[in-house]
Amino acid sequence: MSAQPGEGTDIPAEIDVHTTAGKLADLERRLDEAVHAGSAKAVEKQHAKGRKTARERIELLFDEGSFVELDELARHRSTAFGLEKNRPYGDGVVTGYGTIDGRQVCVFSQDFTVFGGSLGEVYGEKITKVMDLAIKTGCPIIGINEGAGARIQEGVVSLGLYGEIFRRNVHASGVIPQISMIMGSCAGGHVYSPAVTDFTVMVDGTSNMFITGPDVIKTVTGEDVSMEDLGGARTHNTKSGNAHYMGSDEEDAIEYVKALLSYLPQNNLDEAPTYDEVADTDFSDLDRTLDTIIPDSPNQPYDMHDVIKAVVDDEEFLEVQELFAPNIVVGFGRVEGHPVGVVANQPMQFAGTLDIDASEKAARFVRFCDAFNIPVLTFVDVPGFLPGTDQEWNGIIRRGAKLIYAYAEATVPLVTIITRKAYGGAYDVMGSKHLGADINLAWPTAQIAVMGAQGAANIVHRKTLKKVEEEGGDVEAKRAELIDDYETTLANPYIAAERGYVDAVISPHETRVEIVRALRLLRSKRETLPAKKHGNIPL
């Protein structure tokens, strides 16, 4: 009788391991056990929840037939609490490498059908081994996460392996792209590795992550919260900002990861994938739509997505963190077949103001692009920082400064286009010439000033307005006159152009062609910052 999955090393009587044929048959038996390490009931339960198994996810992610598994026959060595009676091959995680769209990628996929995906010694060793391989060979690593935290029966060794994984995440940061997929429930130590990686993708309705679960929270604080509200995909995509995309299902999440990889280099020393696509420098009908996109009223919004799509190749733009801090837009596109990162204020949300969440979202994205040599395009329409006690008390001074830090330390090509408002400190922060941007352009609709006309008129001409009021004059008419004077004198792009703060004032329809020309020039950019161990970003 054959051994059940994970029961031990008993060899069926019909297999004679003293012969070559027997040895081959024994290998096939072991490999079959490894593939079916989880029981049929556990797999059925997984499917009933709308989730795929670890191996099914790998099959969807990688090019057909390209996946090579590593450590398929690894098993735990623990004897505590009767674990020696249950030693499944693989120990609850599938690791290996293969190709995605022909490019080498390493992966680990946690198997919830074995020990609930909990991390033990061998499980952790398998992950650290494939991470080391990814770093050594300079290829991206994808972690497909679904697990219940540390394997309690194995004690402190589980915690030790978590630490080993975290350290490798940090060492790999900025060296190879790291992508995390949260495909089920992840708790405790399982959530910290994704937090250190570059992108985290979740699935609506079936994935969640948290440090402490609803039961513990209720016991300790008395607070009643559902698993979905506490750590579901929607929560982390809209409230915490811990996730960068919410897939409608697992297939959608996997397709997003494939699309994301297509914009990223293998490592920090390689170029991102490019396509031979010479831009047409004749102006198209789409280019000319930009001439009418800015409303006459400075308080009327427009959708910055329309500007972005008019500039990138084939109107294709892959947004990152679309549901979090929607007052700023970040994502990837291509210009002449070369990947670019895009950062843009969104007038449709909070008038495009910068708040804590928007500042941190953009800062993280700019730093990622800089780490992997991806040029950054910045589209500016920002009336300032969001006012309010919540913002001040929660640290907008320190946290907003992260965006200053990100732009100022970036050495990749930086091209900035001011479409409308660029007021106060927010003008400086959004990829200004003063922070090191290479090419800065402005539309004639740009208003580059210390503040908006209405606020400026009220402050600068306070005494004049008071005098008009005291004399019984028409205060509103005088204010309108002063606002008009301010707009004519200062709220325009020409003062900045006189001082070289913008390199050119261009018609909106020229934007795509000017960006193409700027990026062609900047492909040979070389800039080195002062030598140091590392800076002290205002965390």
Q: Average pLDDT, stretch 382-390?
A: 95
Q: Which residue has the higher pLDDT, 278 or 201?
A: 201
Considering the entire predicted model, what is its pTM?
A: 0.92
Q: Is 89 in contact with 74 (CB distance < 8 Å)?
A: yes
Residue 114 CA to residue 88 CA, distance in Å, equals 8
Which residue in 285, 281, 332, 292 sits closest to 308, CA to CA?
Answer: 332
Q: Is 187 in contact with 148 (CB distance < 8 Å)?
A: yes
For residue 397, what are its two tokens? 């001074």
Mean pLDDT, rounded, of the chain? 91
What local confidence, expressed as pLDDT, does residue 206 receive? 93
CB within 8 Å of 270: residues ≥ 6 apart: 138
Class of the domain covering 50-261 = alpha beta
In 335-387, which ranges are continuous DSSP H helix? 356-371
Give DSSP secondary structure letters for 133-165: HHHHHT--EEEEEEE-SB-GGGTHHHHHHHHHH
Residue 196 CA to residue 141 CA, distance in Å, equals 13
Q: Terminal CA-to-CA distance of the chain, rounded, Å? A: 60
Q: Is 343 in contact with 379 (CB distance < 8 Å)?
A: yes
Q: Residue 299 CA to chain centroid, in angstroms? A: 31
Kindly tell me if the per-residue pLDDT of 441 is higher than 90. yes
Kindly tell me if the per-residue pLDDT of 498 is higher than 90. yes
Kindly tell me if the per-residue pLDDT of 328 is higher than 70. yes
Q: Average pLDDT, stretch 445-461?
A: 83
CB within 8 Å of 139: residues ≥ 6 apart: 97, 103, 104, 105, 106, 176, 266, 267
DSSP secondary structure code for residue 292 in this structure: G
DSSP secondary structure code for residue 288 in this structure: H
Class of the domain covering 285-451+491-522 = alpha beta
Residue 148 CA to residue 184 CA, distance in Å, equals 10
**Confidence band of 2 (pLDDT split at 50, 70, 90):** very low
For residue 481, what are its two tokens? 């006159």
Residue 349 CA to residue 362 CA, distance in Å, equals 15
Task: Give φ, ψ of 200 to 5 degrees.
Answer: -125, 125
Which residues make beta-bridge pairs with 158? none
Grouping H, G, I as helix, E, B as strand and the rest as coil, residue 52 is coil
What local confidence, expressed as pLDDT, does residue 98 receive? 98
Q: Is 113 in contact with 39 (CB distance < 8 Å)?
A: yes
**Confidence band of 451 (pLDDT split at 50, 70, 90):** confident
Kindly tell me if the per-residue pLDDT of 402 is higher than 70. yes
For 74-111, the pLDDT digits (tens) are 887 876 776 767 778 878 899 999 999 999 999 999 99
Grouping H, G, I as helix, E, B as strand and the rest as coil, residue 215 is helix
DSSP secondary structure code for residue 39 in this structure: -
For 261-271, the pLDDT digits (tens) are 999 999 999 99
What local confidence, expressed as pLDDT, does residue 9 receive? 58
What local confidence, expressed as pLDDT, does residue 79 receive? 66
Active site residues: 188-189, 425-426
What local confidence, expressed as pLDDT, does residue 4 receive? 45
Kindly tell me if the per-residue pLDDT of 415 is higher than 90. yes
Q: Is 413 in contact with 378 (CB distance < 8 Å)?
A: no
The angle formed by the CA atoms of residues 253, 254 and 259, to the nearest 5 degrees, is: 100
Residue 356 CA to residue 77 CA, distance in Å, equals 48
In 232-291, which ranges are continuous DSSP H helix? 233-235, 250-261, 285-289
Q: Average pLDDT, stretch 456-473?
A: 79
What local confidence, expressed as pLDDT, does residue 461 receive? 77
Residue 162 CA to residue 164 CA, distance in Å, equals 5
Please report, rounded to a whole number, the percentage of residues in the chain having pLDDT higher than 90. Answer: 70
Integer angstrom CA distances of residue 536 from 160, 351, 527: 28, 31, 20
Kindly tell me if the per-residue pLDDT of 3 is higher than 80. no
Integer angstrom CA distances of residue 519 from 195, 305, 329: 32, 20, 21
Grouping H, G, I as helix, E, B as strand and the rest as coil, residue 106 is strand
**Proportion of the chain in helix, strand, coil states, percent, rounded to 5:** 45, 20, 40
Q: Is 56 in contact with 36 (CB distance < 8 Å)?
A: no
Integer angstrom CA distances of residue 412 from 103, 173, 370, 517: 24, 17, 6, 16
Residue 237 CA to residue 291 CA, distance in Å, equals 34
Q: Which residues of 470-490 are buried (b: 16+ CB within 10 A; e: fewer)?
A: eeeeebeebbeebbeebbeeb
Which residues make beta-bridge pairs with 340? 333
What residue spans in the chain does CATH classification 3.90.226.10 cover? 50-261, 285-451+491-522
